[in-house]
Structure 1
């Protein structure tokens, strides 16, 4: 049986928890929840974050606990998710223990909102980096002596799946267009335009109530269960990538179709690679006017909307896009590299 340690967060839609649920007869997964690295009094945490370059308050202590845990269990592979709180010092110690270090890099470390010197110093210590965006592949290859790979986001079938709603719940959650994600400033004009065009909206996530154009549609933070049901109750699920992250796709790319909801998504090469041409399984848009036009067409053509949703659901659920598939892809790549290195020696 393969044993892997995952360093990430548990709960919500965090990928660490999804990897933990990927365990099976042939795979043992032990999650070390990174949440403790960020705990502490609010003001102290804020000072550490702002004054020390987005440094988690307990970065060193958490890293030490990971090293000691791995010293006891001797895992072959450690998979860190995103900007995991493991410093260069702690990664060096893990390397000396013989642990293969992998980062499934779900954020762009050069995004000004995430850029942290401690993480950029740690990044070259990973043997493998799997990035969810092609836009930073070359930068990563220059920064990381080890192997750099593109590996898309996925979805967790225990969180996102088709669900039948009771009529009263379907009516309460109904919308023309649903979106789940934070109110980034560059996202607001899309929903202001949809509202002005007469679409009913359901906006889940933080800060939508801060903008006059979206305040009335803000439905607050939501659990994965509520998001799943809201997707199912909507006619269209809108998929916007995070531009500051240089995304070509995002988590919702897979989660919206997994619920059987018709998706209208930003037109990117990665979206087309996953779902094919425009109008086959997903409708694409390049700007706000095209988004409005595509949304109107989808609302008016229920049969077409259902057919597209059904094909997108099939692509996502049968195409090897579960997070368990992603974890196994990571481990297969690490194993292949290890065997090749052994052959060369």
Structure 2
């Protein structure tokens, strides 16, 4: 089975493309972003990206001319509009969108960024989104025809426990780690953890923008991390934190599944999704606010045996939950087969 995969050649998009290969598909992976001029992102975010869809359509047409695929999957789709989808559909009879973000809110938090996506959404045969409250209704209002919602996914290869080398231990070892981008509210949260005595390490981009950066600076260890470095920094911590993006209405995030998959004890906000995914105090620990997070982390740091028991149980639960890319890939392939055989849209 041949898959035309349209998505970034980095991050979780690259991981998902690799998962389709591992389950046996012949994958042609093309990045729509490589078809655009420099500084396309401000153009999209500030003006809605007029002309971007046509540029992507022309570029894809040159790359896939004459080729045929059993299906196509567009990962994210923020720069893939109706014109590009027309080109894709000439090569593949079924076109699927997978979007781990939340472009379905009205208005979306990044309103203009999703302008092209919103025009294209009704043209997909299947739209796959991450579970959030009311997401199916929001997707239907935006024009999605056939809808599936899933948990976020870790990767079987990238997010697996790996014994660190001595060099990695000295580079990545920490007590409590947060890996993620700064956004409004996160600086104050981290500052409160530091004030409460949590031995914190922060990795991620844009932290210099935090108003609290003078306090946070000694605790910011690195910029954006991907791949093996991302896995090792979580594996090298005794506890890894999850913070949610409230603007996206998140109740869980990629960290919610990647941290247990890697085998580190997870400390996450107490949300209905986290409580559904893991048994509290057995497979993960949860908190309500920064003060509660600080006290929870300090108690867990003081009890090595309990912390390791929770980490091991959370790792086992990740397999029971099925929150992995290959499972997602098979789920999409099965739904495409159903659509081809006349399944209800």
Instruction: Report what 1:192 is aligned to.
Output: 191
Residues 264 and 284, structure 1, Cα contact 8 Å, conserved in 2: yes
Equivalent position of 1:157 in the other structure: 156
Aligned to 1:123: 121
Q: Distance between the aligned counterparts of 2:292 and 2:15, measured in 1?
A: 37
User: Does structure 1 residue 80 correspond to structure 2 residue 77?
Assistant: no
Do the aligned residues in 2 keep the contact of 1:38 with 1:56 (CA within 8 Å)? no
Partner SS, residue 103 of structure 1: strand
SS of 1:185's partner is: coil
Q: Secondary structure at the match of 1:80?
A: strand
> Which secondary structure state, in structure 2, belongs to the residue aligned with residue 280 of structure 1?
coil
**Aligned CA distance change for structure 1 residues 208 and 50 (closer, same or farther; 3 Å):** closer
Assess if the C-alpha contact under 8 Å between 2:154 and 2:323 holds in 1: yes
Native 8 Å contact 1:38 1:57 kept in 2: no
Instruction: Give the corresponding residue for 2:335.
Output: 333
Displacement of 1:20 in angstroms is 2.9
Query: 1:138 is matched with which residue?
Result: 137
Measured in 2, the distance between the counterparts of 1:25 and 1:200 equals 41
Q: How does 1:188-337 map to 2 (within 5 A)?
A: 188-210=187-209, 211-221=213-223, 222-275=225-278, 277-317=279-319, 319-337=321-339
Equivalent residue number for residue 112 of structure 1: 109
Question: Aligned pairs, how many?
Answer: 336
Query: Which residue in the other structure is 1:26 paired with?
Result: 24
Cα 1:25/1:81, change in 2 over 3 Å? closer
Alpha-carbon distance between aligned partners in 2 of 1:138 and 1:25, rounded to the nearest angstrom: 32
Instruction: After superposing the two structures, state which structure 1 stretch, 93-102 or 232-241, moved more.
Output: 93-102
Q: Secondary structure at the match of 1:150?
A: strand
Secondary structure in 2 aligned to 1:48?
A: helix
Kept in 2: contact 1:163–1:232 (CA 8 A): yes
TM-score normalised by length of structure 1: 0.88
* Partner Cα distance (2:16, 2:50) in 1: 23
Q: TM-score, normalised by structure 2?
A: 0.88
User: Does the 8 Å contact 2:78/2:114 carry over to 1?
Assistant: no
How far off its partner does 1:25 sit? 6.5
* Ranges in structure 2 where 5+ consecutive residues have no aligned partner: none
Q: Partners in 2 of 1:255 and 1:285 — Cα distance?
A: 18
Secondary structure at the residue paired with 2:214? coil
Q: CA, structure 1 residues 168+15, in 2 after alignment: closer, same or farther (shift >3 Å)?
A: closer
Other-structure match for 1:65: 59
Cα distance, 1:238–1:261 mapped onto 2, change above 3 Å: same
Mapped partners of 1:175, 1:81: distance in 2: 33
* Alignment RMSD (CA, Å): 2.5
- Relative to structure 1, the CA distance from residue 333 to residue 216 in structure 2 (aligned partners, 3 Å threshold; closer, same or farther) is same
Where structure 1 has 5 or more consecutive residues not aligned to the other structure, the ranges are none
Mapped to 2, the partners of 1:227 and 1:97 lie a distance apart of 36
CA distance in 2, matches of 1:239, 1:56: 36
Q: Is the 8 A contact 2:72 2:92 kept in 1?
A: no
Q: Secondary structure at the match of 1:214?
A: helix
Alpha-carbon displacement from aligned partner over 1:87-119 (angstroms, at most 9, x marks no partner): 122324544666211111111113322543222
How far, CA to CA, are the matches of 2:127 and 2:230 in structure 1? 30
After superposition, the C-alpha distances for 1:35-64 in whole angstroms (9 at most, x for unaligned) are 314442x4xx366235422x2874322223
| Alpha-carbon distance in 2 for matches of 1:51, 1:60 | 18
Question: Any idea what SS the aligned residue of 2:201 has?
Answer: strand
